[in-house]
Structure 1
Amino acid sequence: MNRRPRILVINPNSNEAVTEGLRQALVPLAFAEGPEIVCETLAEGPIGIETQEHVESVTLPLRRRVEAANDVDAFVIACYSDPGLHVAREGTASPVFGIAECGVLTALTRADRFGVIAIKSRSIPRHLRYLRQMGLMDRLAGERPLEMSVAESASGEGTLARMIAIGRELRDEDGAGAIVMGCAGMARHRRPLEDALGIPVIDPTQAAVAMAIGTLMVR
C-alpha cells in the first residue's frame, strides 16, 4: 500500500464541538509512520445521542457512510452506545470498532472492577443491557450519571467538577479500580479526571483508536 492507512472516527451526533473534542483527544495517538486519523461528524445525527430512539435513528446513516468509504482501512463509531456497530460491520471488509466495547475491554486490563460515568440516568439501562450481552456484569462496580446533556458534557461549565465528584463515588463507594467515561463528549476531561482520582480513567474513543492502530500496524 502506497498511501498511509486511514482510520475514520465517526461522531454519530451532529454536534461539531464533540467532534473537535475527539480530534484534540486523539492528537497523542497520531505519529508520522502511523495511520492517518480523520474525525467526522454525521450530519444526519441528533445533537446528542441520549435515548434509544436516537441510537436507532443513526444506525442506517452510519451503515451508508461506512459502505461509501472506499479509502478507509478501519472505522471507529464514537458514541458510547455503539449505535449501528453490527450492521456497519456487515457493510465493509475493514474492521469497525465501537467505543463502548473497546473502552470496557481496555478498563478490564487496568482493574478488576470498573465504573462508568454516564451522561444521564436514562442512559444507564441501555448501557447495562450491553454489558449483559458482553457477559461483563460481574466486573462492573457501578454506573452513575452526571445528569447533563451530551453538549453540556462536552463544553458546559462545571462539567469536570461534577465528573470528579461522581468518579469519587464510583471509586470510594462502589469499589471501582478504573473509570470509563460513558460519552464521547467527555474526551477533553480524561487527564484532569485521572489526576484528581488517582486511578486509571479510560477515554473510550482513545481506546478504540488505539485498537484500530494496532490492528492496522500489524496486518
Structure 2
Amino acid sequence: MRKTLFVINPNSSQSVTDGIDAAMAPLRHDGAPEIRCVTLADGPPGVQTQHDVDDAALRVARFAREHRHEACGFVTACFSDPGLQALREIDGVLSFGISECAALTALTLGQNFGVVAILAGSIPRHLRTWNAMGIGGRLAGEVAIGRGVTDLADHHATLDAMIRAGERLRDEHGAHVLIMGCAGMAPYRARLQEACALPVVEPVQAAVSMALGRIQLGW
C-alpha cells in the first residue's frame, strides 16, 4: 500500500496550504510517496505568537496520532516547527520541521544565511532555534517584512517587501543564501531568487526533499 507523506499546515488558511501544495509539484513523482498537504481548520489564521505555536503543537501532534497508520512521514509546515519533538516520539514514521530543514539546506549553499521573516516578533523565536541547533554563528541576520500570514496573499505588496528585505540581507548583512521564514511565502521563491541573485530556500520544499530522500534510502 502506498503510504502518505503529510505536510501539515497548522493554521486555518487554505490559501497558504494551496501555495504549499503548488510548491510541491517538482517533488511529486510516480512511485514516490503521496505528498498530501492538509490544513488544520481549527487552528488560528496564522501562527505568529508563542501562544499560537504552543497551541499549534498540540493540534499537529493530535493530527499525527490520528493518521499515523497511513503515514510514512509528517512535515510540520510552520516556521516555528510546532509539535516537532512530539511527532518524533511516534514510532515508525519520520518527522521533519521546516525551519530546521531550511537552515540545514542553506548551510550547504553558502557560508551564512539570512532569513526573510514575516514579523519582528517572530525573530526571537527563530534565534532560539538557530542557537539550539548550534548554528547561530552562521546566521547573517534576519529582516522582517512587517506582514502577517493573512497579509501574504497580497502578491504585489508581499513580493515587494520580500525583495527589499532580501536586498538588505545581501547588501547590509552579507548573506550568501536567503531563507523564506514562513510557509505562506512559498509562491514567491523563484521571483525573490531572481531579484536578489542569491539562492533562496523555500522551507517546505527543503523539508519534503529531505523526507523523500530518507524514505527512498530506508533511513
Indicate the TM-score class for this superposition, using the shorter chain for normalisation. over 0.9
Q: Distance in 2 between matches of 1:58 and 1:102?
A: 19
CA distance in 2, matches of 1:11, 1:71: 18
In the TM superposition, 1:35-74 aligns within 5 A as: 35-69=33-67, 70-74=69-73
Query: How much has 1:64 moved relative to structure 2?
Result: 1.2
Structure 2 residues not aligned, in runs of 5+: none
Aligned residue for 1:131, secondary structure, equals helix
> What residue is the counterpart of 2:3 in the other structure?
5
Residue 209 of structure 1: aligned partner: 208
Q: Quote the RMSD (CA, aligned, Å).
A: 1.0
The residue type paired with residue 33 of structure 1 is G
Q: TM-score, normalized by length of structure 2? A: 0.96
Task: Indicate if the aligned counterparts of 1:5 and 1:34 stay in contact, CA closer than 8 A.
Answer: no
What residue identity is the alignment partner of 1:35? P
Matched, 1:131 2:122: no
Question: For the residues of structure 1 that align with 2:31 and 2:71, how far apart are their CA atoms?
Answer: 17
The Cα shift of 1:89 comes to 1.5
* More displaced stretch, 81-90 vs 200-209: 81-90
Aligned mates of 2:19, 2:178 — CA distance in 1:
19
CA distance in 1, matches of 2:58, 2:160: 36
From the superposition, tell whether residues 92 and 65 of structure 1 become closer, same or farther in structure 2 (CA, over 3 Å).
farther
Equivalent residue number for residue 28 of structure 2? 30
Q: Deviations over 1:129-178 (max 9, x none)?
A: 11111111100000010000111124454111110111000011100000
Count of aligned pairs: 217
8 Å Cα contact 1:8-1:38 kept in structure 2:
yes
Q: Distance in 2 between matches of 1:144 and 1:84?
A: 25
CA distance in 1, matches of 2:146, 2:19: 20
Partner of 1:19: 17
Q: Structure 1 segments of 4 or more deviating over 6 A?
A: none
Give the Å deviation of 1:20.
Answer: 0.3
Structure 1, unmatched stretches of 5+, are none
Contact 1:15 1:151 in 2 (8 A): yes
SS in 2 for 1:73: strand
| Residue identity opposite 2:111 in structure 1 | D
1:35-114 to 2 correspondence within 5 Å?
Answer: 35-69=33-67, 70-114=69-113
TM-superposed CA distance for 1:4, in Å, is: 2.6
Distance 2:41 2:86 in 1: 19
Distance 1:58 1:146 in 2: 23
Cα drift, residue 6 of structure 1: 1.6
TM-score, with length taken from structure 1: 0.96
Deviation digits for residues 46-86 of structure 1 (CA, Å, limit 9, x no counterpart): 00000000000111121111111110101100000001110
Contact 1:30 1:37 in 2 (8 A): yes
Which residue in 2 is equivalent to 1:116? 115
Question: 1:212: how far off?
Answer: 0.7
